[in-house]
Structure 1
Amino acid sequence: MILVEKSLGNLGDAAWAERLEGATIDLLELDQWQAQRNRFRLKTKAGTEVAVALERNSHLHDGDILGWDEATRTAIATRIHLKEVLVIQLDALLANPAETLARTCFELGHALGNQHWPAVVKGTTVYVPLTVDRQVMASVMKTHAFVGITYDFRPGSMVIPYLAPHEARRLFGGANATPHSHVAAVLEPETHQHVDAQGQTFSHSHDTPDPGQKHDHDHDHVH
């Protein structure tokens, strides 16, 4: 077992790239939840046990080098599997009157909240982790057609360097759950629709009950 209290460098560093040419890279594979922890114990693909004990409020990054054996020319490095992120740009809104700016931001917040999607705001950029199928999230944004707002999807590895540890935990820490999405649709009165993580649509109606009759059903929401 090896104890890791800090990384030695990163596979992307020029000095290490040259040093590791022809070397064996033993990967410690982490999902996006494990990557936000600063203390854990896992085995590499080759079976080496690694105990990670980083400083508080620090975490590993994709490609971090955790160990290097000069004799065998073997390095232990991280591979972090992050989901994509919906990146929403608001900077074009700043040219609008304050009333328009406030209304659009409120409507965007309402739309994201209605889907129960977590989000992180940095400056004029909003980051939303993919908690349902990418096409479902794109459909929601297209349906609302916010004027002055642009969006695209980016790999999580491109986003995480811009986030503080607590922001990364919010963005990636809970995104492995299986939530659902509400997509606007034309339905009969007292009917609404759900879309699950696989993009399947379910509709059900709410019949008007008799006075005093209880209406009840379960809605499993993941926050």
Structure 2
Amino acid sequence: MIELAETYLGNITDNNSLSEQIKKALSQEQCLEVYLSQPDSGKGRIFTHSNCGNEIGIIKSRDWVLREGDVFQTEQNKFLLIHLQQKKIMVISFTEPVSDRPINLVHLGHVLGNHHWPIIIQGDKLYVQLAADEDVIEETILNFKIPGLRISYEWRSPWDQLTFSEQEHHHH
């Protein structure tokens, strides 16, 4: 039987009273926990399994993204605590100056944008959200053969959010 969760109660990091209720419910096995991927956290309808194997259906508006510590109440009057999994991020950096190759960088940015792969630039690094298979993204980037270009990966916790920009692309 699917436990359906539609009633949002708040987030344990913002609400001390709710946090205490969840601690008590966890100790009494009256709280289900789910671990969601970052992409699933924005969906309006989510089907998943709790940490103890229960089938869970979460229904919410698509205009907000679930956060670590969000709490729902199920139709069976249990609490449902949301956990977000870490996500893998591609990091592009350079081991040598690229100031003599601006056209390569412009072309790289253009291709990333045309693929709608969300990016963010922080300091001297370019972070690419893995919106497609990482091998495909990596091969596309390495095809530019930019000297000194290095690709690595980082794991980001749900609390360490990067705000990626999605390029809007209008075709005429």
Query: Would you say how many aligned residue pairs link Structure 1 and Structure 2?
Result: 149
| 1:120-167 deviation per Cα after TM superposition (whole angstroms, max 9, x unaligned) | 2233423141512x3444444444332343321234656961226xx4
Residue 152 of structure 2 aligns to a residue whose secondary structure is strand
Residue 84 of structure 1 aligns to a residue whose secondary structure is strand
Residue 162 of structure 1 aligns to a residue whose secondary structure is coil
The aligned amino acid for 2:120 is V
* Residue in 2 that maps onto 1:188: none
* Residue in 2 that maps onto 1:131: 132
Over the aligned positions, Cα root-mean-square deviation in angstroms equals: 4.6
The separation in 1 between residues aligned to 2:12 and 2:158, in whole angstroms, is 21
Equivalent residue runs for 1:1-223 within 5 Å: 3-4=7-8, 6-9=10-13, 19=23, 24=29, 26-37=32-43, 40=45, 45=50, 46-47=54-55, 50-52=58-60, 58-61=64-67, 63-67=68-72, 76-80=80-84, 84-89=88-93, 97=99, 100=100, 102-112=102-112, 116=115, 118-123=117-122, 124-132=125-133, 134-155=134-155, 157=157, 161-163=161-163, 167=165, 170=166
The aligned amino acid for 1:77 is L
* Structure 2 unpaired stretches of 5+: 168-172
Q: Is the 8 A contact 1:28 1:42 kept in 2?
A: no
What TM-score, normalized by structure 1, do the two folds share? 0.44
The separation in 2 between residues aligned to 1:128 and 1:122, in whole angstroms, is 12
What TM-score, normalized by structure 2, do the two folds share? 0.53
The aligned amino acid for 2:80 is I
The separation in 1 between residues aligned to 2:121 and 2:11, in whole angstroms, is 27
The separation in 1 between residues aligned to 2:56 and 2:138, in whole angstroms, is 41
Q: Is the 8 A contact 2:119 2:127 kept in 1?
A: yes
* Structure 1 unpaired stretches of 5+: 69-73, 172-223
The separation in 2 between residues aligned to 1:158 and 1:6, in whole angstroms, is 17
Residue 146 of structure 2 aligns to a residue whose secondary structure is coil
The separation in 2 between residues aligned to 1:152 and 1:23, in whole angstroms, is 43
The separation in 2 between residues aligned to 1:138 and 1:103, in whole angstroms, is 19
Q: Is the 8 A contact 1:85 1:154 kept in 2?
A: yes
The separation in 2 between residues aligned to 1:43 and 1:111, in whole angstroms, is 35
The separation in 1 between residues aligned to 2:13 and 2:159, in whole angstroms, is 20
The separation in 2 between residues aligned to 1:8 and 1:110, in whole angstroms, is 41
Q: Is the 8 A contact 1:29 1:80 kept in 2?
A: yes
The aligned amino acid for 2:126 is T
The separation in 2 between residues aligned to 1:127 and 1:31, in whole angstroms, is 17
| 1:39-92 deviation per Cα after TM superposition (whole angstroms, max 9, x unaligned) | 5576763356654459x6x4213x424158xxxxx75222446763322236x6
The aligned amino acid for 1:106 is V
Structure with the greater alpha carbon radius of gyration? 1
Q: Is the 8 A contact 2:104 2:144 kept in 1?
A: no
Q: Greater RCO between the two (CA within 8 Å, min separation 6)?
A: 2
Q: Is the 8 A contact 2:7 2:72 kept in 1?
A: no
Residue 146 of structure 1 aligns to a residue whose secondary structure is coil
